[in-house]
């Protein structure tokens, strides 16, 4: 066998080395190319394993039906309307919820990646440290976009009235932006925690209070004062409120929610993105 191998012409190792910039810095174009190759990897995963898309496809359906039909009547009545009033209220909230739920999944997937040797290979290649993470985030944003599309289709089916189309796109854009900022937190957890299960458990503990302690599902006016104050600066409320104001013409204010969401988005990204990349580069 070895003789056969030896007889093959032109041993591949004797050719010139790959060219690269002399100081080894990785330029923008190279970074984009590397990120592209890694995005392709994550897309191939989905192609090989379409079941991994089930959460993005089914979560919006299940949650929308549950909330609209279980709570819709009662909360709608309390709001001085009915089922339809609640639909107009909760769908923008669902958009906010979806961005966080999908963002959480990035942590577990990334953590599992680390238990295989492939991360060692990536980290021993001459590629930018961030490209592995950014590729992961790009694909998750795509999943979010799909989940959002499903959500809006279901929303219209249960009677949601898109009163402001440009507002809808703005709201979706905002939720993707915020979702990508949240992903950095889960990437940090994914890199630092020992198992995918613990990442999921921590993610759940962080998510539940943020999602329910907010204006996503119900107006906050009847909550105790301390909780109402918490919801004011909870980004989940901010995103839900802003989306409500943008997508509907029910007179919900946009500005406060928008600023809260943007502030959290910028803050989280500024702190967590470099930290995640640092942790990734230093992981032993």
Question: Which residues lie near other proteins (CB under 8 A)?
Answer: 1-2, 5-6, 8, 11-20, 22-26, 30, 33-34, 36-38, 40-41, 44-45, 48-49, 115-127, 284
Write the DSSP string, 27-93: -HHHHHHHHHHHHHHHHHHHHH-GGGGHHHHHHHHHHHHHIIIIIHHHHHHHTTS-HHHHHHHHHHH
Cβ proximity to other proteins, 132 vs 172, nearer residue: 132
Measured from the CB atom, is 117 or 225 closer to other proteins?
Answer: 117
Closest-CA residue to 87 (of 193, 21, 160, 14): 160
Instruction: Tell me how far, at minimum, the Cβ of 197 lies from other proteins, in Å.
Output: 17
Minimum CB distance to other proteins, residue 25 (Å):
7
Q: How far is the CB of 143 from other proteins (least distance, A)?
A: 16
192 with 279: CB under 8 angstroms? yes
Question: Considering beta carbons, is residue 118 or 205 the nearer one to other proteins?
Answer: 118
Smaller CB separation from other proteins, 38 or 187: 38
User: Which of 284, 279, 23 has the alpha carbon at shortest distance from 130?
Assistant: 279
165-192 helix and 196-212 helix, angle to the nearest 10 degrees: 140
Q: How far is the CB of 136 from other proteins (least distance, A)?
A: 13
Choose between 22 and 226: whose C-beta lies nearer to other proteins. Answer: 22
| Minimum distance of other proteins from residue 83's CB (angstroms) | 44
Place of tokens 């009547």: 73
Burial of 29 (C-beta count, 10 Å sphere; 0-12/13-18/19+): exposed
In whole angstroms, how close is the CB of 11 to other proteins at the nearest point?
4
Q: How many CB atoms lie within 10 A of CB 214?
A: 27
Nearer to other proteins, 43 or 65 (CB): 43
DSSP 9: S
Q: What is the CA radius of gyration of the chain?
A: 23
SS3 269: helix
């Amino acid at each position: 066998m070895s003789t056969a191998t030896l007889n093959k012409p032109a041993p591949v190792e004797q050719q010139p080395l790959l060219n690269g910039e002399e100081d080894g810095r990785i330029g923008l174009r190279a970074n984009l190319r590397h990120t592209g190759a890694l995005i392709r990897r994550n897309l191939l995963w989905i192609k090989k394993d379409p079941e991994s898309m089930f959460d993005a496809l089914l979560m919006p359906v299940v949650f929308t039906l549950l909330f609209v039909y279980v709570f819709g009547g009662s909360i709608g009545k309390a709001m001085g309307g009915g089922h339809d009033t609640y639909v107009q209220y909760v769908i923008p909230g669902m958009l906010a919820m979806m961005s966080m739920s999908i963002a959480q999944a990035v942590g577990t997937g990334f953590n599992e990646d680390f238990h295989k040797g492939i991360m060692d290979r990536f980290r021993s290649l001459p590629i930018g440290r961030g490209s592995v993470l950014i590729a992961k985030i790009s694909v998750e944003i795509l999943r979010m976009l799909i989940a959002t599309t499903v959500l809006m289709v279901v929303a219209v089916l249960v009677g949601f009235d898109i009163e402001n189309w440009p507002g809808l796109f703005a709201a979706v854009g905002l939720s993707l932006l915020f979702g990508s900022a949240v992903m950095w937190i889960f990437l940090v957890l994914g890199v630092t925690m020992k198992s995918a299960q613990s990442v999921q458990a921590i993610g759940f503990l962080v998510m539940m209070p943020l999602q329910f302690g907010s204006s996503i599902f119900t107006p906050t006016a009847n909550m105790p004062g301390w909780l109402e104050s918490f919801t004011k600066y909870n980004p989940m409320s901010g995103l839900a409120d802003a989306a409500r104001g943008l997508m509907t013409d029910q007179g919900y204010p946009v500005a406060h929610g928008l600023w809260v969401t943007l502030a959290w988005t910028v803050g989280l990204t500024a702190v967590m993105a470099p930290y995640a990349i640092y942790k990734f580069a230093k992981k032993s």
